[in-house]
Structure 1
Amino acid sequence: MDERRVKAGVLVIGDEILSGRTHDVNIRQIAQFLSPLGITLGEARIVSDDQDAIVEAVRALSARWDYVFTTGGIGPTHDDITADAIAAAFDRTIDVREDALGILREWYAKSGTELTPARLRMARIPDGASLIANPVTGAPGFQVENVFVLAGVPKIARGMLEDVAGRLRGGVVTQSLAVRLENVREGDIANRLGELADAMPDVSFGSYPWFQELPDGSLSRGVELVARSSDLAALEQAGEALKALAGHR
């Protein structure tokens, strides 16, 4: 672990996400997985099952961030085009690879399932890529340069991350604390919060309104203030300053 800032991008791929049919949880779980490793998310994008869109996004994210994680589009159906798009993004050929094929054969043999031509698509890996183990269904993901290609199903993606962790070089770990203020509106503390942000450049501040319905039907409200920093002394100071905001409205 070193003191440099390490950031990652996430690319969520799939028409089902953009249509609202499927709710994405991968951005959150990737962020939560990376945080203790000293890696924070700098950007997240969602694109459709369109090769040109995937290629464009992968190239941009790969150039901008230390690591990139894609989710979705590596299954057996016709619209699973992520592997081809990644190959195109890095100008690599792609075909069924023996190591990936061997993994699929072993998994399907255990369950007595036929390895159909459609399922063979999951053994198509860009040339030179490193495989990512899939402990849930066997079908591997892969890594090309700084891009890690994961499945879209959250449980599978989470399992794949375990194989990725050892390949990542983390930086300084960012810590956070939250202060919950009741009967406070954002407008009440906006100016003071802005002053704190200016005075403490090593701390990132966030403001998040909350609402809660009480048993009598009335509404309780307030603001949760969050401070984030890798400097623990500065973070502690920020926490005390946030608690004092309630008295400086």
Structure 2
Amino acid sequence: MTNITAAIIIIGNEILSGNTIDANTSFLAVHLNKLGIKVMEVRIIPDIHEEIVRHINEIRSKYNYIFTTGGIGPTHDDITALAIAKAFGVELELNEEALVYLKEIYDEWELTPPRLKMAYIPEGASLIPNVISKAPGFIIENVYVMAGIPKIMYAMFEAIKDDLMHGKEILSTTITVIVGESIIAEKLSSIQDMYPDVEIGSYPINTDNKWVTNIVLRATDANKLTHVSNKLRTLLDDFL
């Protein structure tokens, strides 16, 4: 089966400043892996029109899916929709369906220009429902544009996940050894060379001045994952 791939673009100065912790990347990576969609890269970029356009156009032809979060609200720095439209060479238009959603929570007099801004969607895009606050995300070709607020983004992803192409779920298992990774590096390399279709990563942790290493194995073939895991446990038995 051909790998199905994705990239994640997190848009927002608040993430880059460190004032807000990004919770969206881990959520998307975990849930995409469950669908058999392999996340190949993650980018965190500022609320700058030209940067959003550049990054979208750099990678939208490289992967099956691009997922963006952030920048689709009512404020002056919410410029993602406009930048996505520019990247695809289309105009923003008042989307009647999006307007209906907004009218479910706002009276006519409450639809100020900033709120109305959330109903402007790139031409040709379809909407991603938002059951939390109604203002929708959108899909244009293979680019899925969602909110930055985690609770809303999670709900948007739930609305679209069944429509995505699914691959084989990416399975993982973890082996913990009570030594630093430098001691086991050669053994890990030898196993990785023998089984290139099983990803092996090592992640050292220092707790109370003692080193342990978590070895994470990932593969789509459950039997092979079990086989390699057992082989590695045997090889590292002295350190378990």
TM > 0.5: yes
C-alpha distance in 2, partners of 1:221/1:209?
7
Q: 2:146 aligns with which of 132, 144, 150?
A: 150
2:174 pairs with 1:178: yes
SS in 2 for 1:108: coil
Contact preservation (8 Å) 1:76, 1:118: yes
Deviation of 1:248 after TM superposition, in Å, equals 6.5
> In 2, Cα distance between the equivalents of 1:232 and 1:151?
35
Q: 2:234 is matched by which residue type in structure 1? A: A
Any gaps of 5 or more consecutive residues in structure 1? 214-218
Q: In the alignment, what sits opposite 2:197?
A: 202
Task: Give the superposition deviation at 1:113.
Answer: 8.2
Residue 124 of structure 2 is matched in structure 1 by 128
CA contact (8 A) 1:202 1:234 kept: no
Q: Distance in 2 between matches of 1:204 and 1:113?
A: 56
| 2:8 aligned counterpart, secondary structure | strand
- Whole-Å Cα distance in 2 between the matches of residues 146 and 165 of structure 1? 13
Which whole-Å CA distance do the structure 2 matches of 1:247 and 1:95 have between them? 63
CA RMSD of aligned residues (A): 1.5
Cα–Cα, structure 1 residues 32 and 247, in superposed 2: closer, same or farther, change >3 Å? closer
Aligned residue for 2:139, secondary structure, equals: strand
Give the distance between the partners of 1:59 and 1:149, measured in 2 at CA.
Answer: 14
Which of the residues 202, 217, 229 maps onto 1:239?
229
Offset of residue 19 of structure 1: 1.0
Q: Secondary structure at the match of 2:85?
A: helix
Deviation of the 1:245 alpha carbon: 3.5
**In the alignment, which of 173, 192, 197 is matched to residue 187 of structure 2?**
192
Could you list the per-position Cα deviations for residues 198-243 of structure 1 after superposition, in whole angstroms to 9, with x for gaps in the alignment? 0111100000112323xxxxx3321111111112221111111221
Cα-to-partner distance string for 1:22-73 (whole Å, 9 max, x where unaligned): 1111110011121221112111101111111101111122111100000000
Q: Deviations over 1:97-134 (max 9, x none)?
A: 1111111011224xx98221111110010011000001
Match of 2:106 among 93, 108, 118: 108
- Identify if the C-alpha distance between structure 1 residues 113 and 162 changes in structure 2 by more than 3 Å, giving closer, same or farther: farther
Match of 1:216 in 2: none
User: What is the alpha-carbon distance in structure 1 between the residues aligned to residue 237 and residue 115 of structure 2?
Assistant: 63
CA distance in 2, matches of 1:108, 1:138: 10
In the alignment, structure 1 residue 227 sits paired with structure 2 residue 222: no
Q: How does 1:1-249 map to 2 (within 5 A)?
A: 3-109=1-107, 114-182=110-178, 184-213=179-208, 219-247=209-237
Instruction: Choose 219-228 or 117-126, whichever is displaced more.
Output: 219-228
Quote how far apart the aligned CAs of 1:95 are: 2.1
User: In structure 1, what is the Cα distance between the partners aligned to 2:143 and 2:93?
Assistant: 18
Q: AA paired with 1:212?
A: T
Calculate the TM-score normalised by the size of structure 2.
Answer: 0.95
Deviation for aligned residue 1:246: 2.7
For these two proteins, the number of residue pairs brought into alignment is: 239
Equivalents in 2 of 1:167, 1:146: separation in Å? 12
